[in-house]
Amino acid sequence: MLKSKVILITGGSRGIGKAIAVAMAKQGADIALNDFGQSEELSKVKKELEKLDIRCETYNCDVSDFTATKTMVDSVLKDFGRVDVLVNNAGIELHNSLMRMSEESFDKVIAVNLKGCWNMIKHLFLHFSKQRSGTIINIASVCGVSGWPGQTNYSASKGGLIALTQSTAKELAQRGVTCNAIAPGLIDTFMTEKLNGEVREQFVAKIPLKRAGTPDDVAHVAVFLAGDGASYITGEVIRVDGGLLCV
């Protein structure tokens, strides 16, 4: 159970972020929900979560903006008094071959997916240290474990996030704080809707479980990592990929 814990989730208006918010709210956690430029969606999720008899506040912020994330973290701490779990879920994809990829596309993906996570950890580092407790969950990707063609920017950002996870775990361990990553494979979200039928079928055929994952598949792992049962796990990367990288 996560009752009385305060969970800060970035990119929480839809997909995996929303599923994590709902799953943790069902465990009794209060939710600080972030996204950028998704005010209407955030409001809808807030209403949905409040029906679960928990507190939810929303924060519209670009996680790649260092100053803006500091302001958001300060607001969350003022509103809730503490943060127990940080879920770094916000991310974007701008696919293209390396030859055709623009510098802007590379920089933007790195800024959101990698620097955005660093920003959030940086601004909560002192809070977690003083609190002598805390849990950080970074949503990486199998693309960060094993590079993927057409995704040099995305793979680099998620591979960097895995390294950031392991370094952070070592720095914060002595303060009673854990930091782990979840590496999803093909998950049915708005980000994978662009796959046409044939490409999707070819991808699924490579997955030993022969199906795409759901946001809930990822959320269940996040709930475990946020709970007391995972208190001795840190610096780990848990793949939720149906066995994709086992073959």
Quote the strand ranges of the chain, DSSP E: 6-9, 30-35, 56-60, 85-88, 134-139, 177-184, 237-240
> Is the sign of the CA dihedral 136, 238, 198, 214 positive or negative?
negative
- Options 86, 154, 178, 212, the catalytic residue: 154
Q: What residues pair up with 139 in beta bridges, in sequence order?
A: 182
Q: Is 154 a catalytic residue?
A: yes
Q: Given the DSSP bridges, would you call strands 6-9 and 177-184 parallel, antiparallel or unpaired?
A: unpaired
Distance of CA 92 to the CA centre of its chain: 11
Q: Which of 31, 38, 6, 237 is nearest to 137 (CA)?
A: 237
Counting Cα atoms < 13 Å in the Cβ hemisphere of 60 gives: 7
Active-site positions read 154
